Structure 1
Amino acid sequence: MKLPQIGDWRDFAGLARLQQERLPAVLAAAERSPFYRKRGVAPLPEQPLTTKQDLRDAYPFGLLACERADLATYHESSGSSGEPTASYYTESDWTDLAERFARKWTGITAADTMLVRTPYALMITGHLAHAAARSRGATVVPADNRSLATPYSRVVRLLHDLGVTLTWSLPTDTLLWAAAARIAGYTDFPALRALFVGGEPVGPARKARIGRIWGAPVVEEYGATETGSLAGECGHGTMHLWADRAVFEVQDPATGELRPDGRGRLVVTPLYREAMPLLRYAIEDEVEISYRSCPCGWHLPAVRLLGRFNGRLTQLGVEELVFGLPDDFGVWFWRARYDDARVRVEIEVADRWRAAAVGELTASLRAALPDVEPTVVPVPPGGLVPHRLLTATAEVMKPRGLFGPGEDWDSALQYY
């Protein structure tokens, strides 16, 4: 199966034709799964949404549209918004997954060393980046962020000593590395040429701050375990949906109306999926989609990721105000609690900048939310991210049965 590549069309009309040509095969594949056979398959504009609850109810293989013998991998989501959901992929699916992730404007080449700092577990994220990097010939450093064997102190040593050129992580992780590097005395990472980030919304202010800290561009990625990569950033800073590999719609949360652009909850129909076809899958993330020309010339729709709403305030909104503070204040870590009348924001800040940071952030919050009373609470460095987290050494993850004189054998046969 030949997969479309960026540049295969010259306008949005060509992109729409590609989608329409592919949809009959997508609908036919869906009918092979028990879930869609029972529900029924209709032309896409008439097809009801597939929800996360549908995926949970179909656990584990109710959406399987191929033979079990044809599966390459099985995955489950993190369950950050409820119970985890299952997903599975064939080798052909993995070709599509890896190609989509590798669509980085910076490129991934055989000369690169890429540190992958997302889970190598049931979630797809670490495996996805690993497969994409290897498909381009890059060297992979598998620094899983859910393993006690790779603490932050070890990550910054690897970044420095191996001459890592590319990284893949949560945006927050890049700030934790910077804090750990500062404590460990590392000041120079000359080989680093780009930081790939995803897994949480990141606004322009935080992205720019991370780029200044590391002296390298921050390239955003968006996707899900159930779908793989759905969007990536071009060299002009626009996040583009991979609309040559999936059909995207937005649902108005108030009316339920589905349309190709505007603001609402994202709905996606992958176009090249063997093991687990999905029709109008409701991801539940808030987005804004627009069809506008971009200097990059990709002719793919632009998307803004807005996160999940809590009333009128979003995490992204607070983040933009926090990272809008001057770099000199050194405010990298924060947390907030919000209700309709009040918001309390805690920030890590050194004593010398405490009063200025509190004053500026309080004023910014009041301007952004004039009818909400803000409280900004400064805590000293290490108050939100303990220094012991940044300096801990690797823990041995092997059981032991034989101990010498004076050793603590209460650890016998335990992981420690």
Structure 2
Amino acid sequence: MLETTVPQVSEPDVRTRLDYLVAAFTTQVGRDLEHWPAETLAEYTAAALELSVRHANRSAFYAERLGDRTVPTSIAEFQRLPFTYPAEIKGRLRDLLACSWDELAQVNLSSGTTAGPTTYVGYTAADLRGDGARYAPAGLFAFDPSDLVAVALPYDMATVGLSIHRDVQRQGAVVLPAGKGGSYGPPERLVQAIAELGVTTLFSTPSFAWYLAELFEQVFPGAGKPIAHLRLGGEGAAPTMLTRLGLRWGATVRQWYGSTEIGVIAYSCEQGTYHVAAANCFLEIVDADGGPVPDGTIGAVVTTTLGRGGTPLIRYHSGDRAVLLAEPCGCGRTLPALRMFGRATDQLPGRDGGVSPYVVEETLLRAVADAEPWYHVELTDTGTTLVAEWPAAAPATEQAAATSAIVQQVAVAGLDLDGVRWAEPGTLDRPRTKMRRVRDERTGPR
């Protein structure tokens, strides 16, 4: 057990308490958070969950939801608490606040990937100290004064752009607040700035980073690209997509997984494996009945904010699909390793359950050598069709063979495609916000 006492700070500053625990455990075991022994991480997590649930009870929402339940002192006790679902927290900022209004420093809106009223998330000043990124590894959220970092992610009412912006400045690097999809910063201007200023790091979504590379090559044909590091989030991507992005930009590629509601949830290591940001959140994988699943089994992602002072969330059932890997990662990090499969609402109807759209993306990019990631899958009452651009450099006579190969390969993953509809180059949507990879037009029962 950790032989130390959590300092008596003001109750809303629960983040300081958690930061103290991380520092104390790190000193005790002589290893940084990413390399703690499993028993140390479990001890920290139990203490962090107890503090976080106790703080969440200050909100009207959780005071009612948890009622007279005893605050859990172990992970097993914690996992008996009820889930929180996205629909329950929409439009309920004040009910969710676990601090007074004058202790609130910032409010953001969720990106709205599900229908209905808006979800608002509130942060205290302590919540904004790194926004969970401070425990991510060097090379993902770490910068030096020579860096010029373009943040091509949403700023307008969103969390992610401002969060990374603050981290860049906090570490002494220079930030270019590019945004994504805004009227003042169109992608053409960003490409110009990348070339003229020598941007070294680009934070963006995979699809937008590809689009920027496409534009760069059109505006500056034959010119070298200055970006050395791509840091990608907000969307998933197939392995071949990530490899091609790195080659196209001549840059290293790392990813993170997060949400407005929770913050940073996981980040990728040098080997491309996601690791849970265990100082910022607690992640569970559950089955359809809400019970825990063994490592190596795909299930639903459930996350809990650790140390959130403004709007804490307890056992938030997001609808994402993932698996905690049973084998340790070869990078040496001991944090839980994770593989993502996308949102439950984006899963394609397969013979044995949902199939990730990124299976289709991987198959497309492997089957057609010059294919670019401009595609979507249409679900109608009559079947499932992949719609994708046919590359200009590829002979049209090869379309039938490519279609046959794609249909056969995705069938192995359990998805029955009725065919592929090839579009002319440049005719499908380019990303201004999140890409819609699945377009569900079914009217009958699901």
TMscore range, shorter length: 0.7 to 0.9
Measure, in 2, the Cα distance between the counterparts of 1:269 and 1:145.
28
Matched residue SS, 1:244: coil
Matched, 1:376 2:417: no
Matched, 1:170 2:208: no
Q: In the alignment, what sits opposite 1:32?
A: 58
One of 139, 149, 171 as aligned partner of 1:105: 139
User: Is contact 1:104-1:234 (8 Å) kept?
Assistant: no
Question: Unpaired segments of 5 or more residues in structure 2?
Answer: 1-15, 24-30, 73-77, 433-446
Measure, in 2, the Cα distance between the counterparts of 1:286 and 1:260.
14
Matched residue SS, 1:335: strand
Aligned-residue offset at 1:169: 0.9
CA RMSD of aligned residues (A): 2.4
One-letter amino acid of the counterpart of residue 377, structure 2: A
Change (3 A) 1:217 1:354: farther
Measure, in 2, the Cα distance between the counterparts of 1:26 and 1:291.
27
User: Is contact 1:118-1:144 (8 Å) kept?
Assistant: yes
User: Is contact 2:293-2:299 (8 Å) kept?
Assistant: no
Q: In the alignment, what sits opposite 1:393?
A: none
Q: TM-score, normalised by structure 2?
A: 0.80
Task: Give identity over the alignment, percent.
Answer: 27
Q: In the alignment, what sits opposite 1:334?
A: 375
Change (3 A) 1:132 1:259: farther
Q: In the alignment, what sits opposite 1:399?
A: none
Matched residue SS, 2:202: strand
Matches within 5 A, 1:275-286: 275-286=310-321
Q: In the alignment, what sits opposite 1:82?
A: 115
Measure, in 2, the Cα distance between the counterparts of 1:283 and 1:103.
25
Matches within 5 A, 1:110-121: 110-121=145-156
1:255-289, Cα deviation, whole Å (9 max, x unpaired): 22134743211101122111112111111100111
Matched, 1:323 2:365: yes
Q: In the alignment, what sits opposite 1:53?
A: 87
Question: Unpaired segments of 5 or more residues in structure 1?
Answer: 390-416
Measure, in 2, the Cα distance between the counterparts of 1:186 and 1:162.
17
Change (3 A) 1:276 1:385: closer
Matches within 5 A, 1:9-408: 10-40=36-66, 41-42=69-70, 43=72, 44-56=78-90, 59-83=92-116, 84-97=118-131, 99-100=133-134, 103-105=137-139, 107-253=142-288, 255-259=289-293, 261=295, 262-308=297-343, 309-312=347-350, 313-327=355-369, 329-338=370-379, 341-350=383-392, 352-356=394-398, 358-369=400-411, 372-385=416-429
Matched residue SS, 1:183: helix
Change (3 A) 1:342 1:283: closer
Change (3 A) 1:300 1:293: same
Change (3 A) 1:101 1:75: farther
1:208-231, Cα deviation, whole Å (9 max, x unpaired): 111111111221110000111111
Aligned-residue offset at 1:150: 1.5
1:292-327, Cα deviation, whole Å (9 max, x unpaired): 322332210111110121312322111111221354
User: Is contact 2:153-2:179 (8 Å) kept?
Assistant: yes
Q: TM-score, normalised by structure 1?
A: 0.86
Measure, in 2, the Cα distance between the counterparts of 1:364 and 1:332.
14
Q: In the alignment, what sits opposite 1:7?
A: 32
Measure, in 1, the Cα distance between the counterparts of 2:384 and 2:429.
24
Aligned-residue offset at 1:385: 4.4
Measure, in 1, the Cα distance between the counterparts of 2:137 and 2:267.
7
Measure, in 2, the Cα distance between the counterparts of 1:332 and 1:27.
42
One-letter amino acid of the counterpart of residue 77, structure 1: S
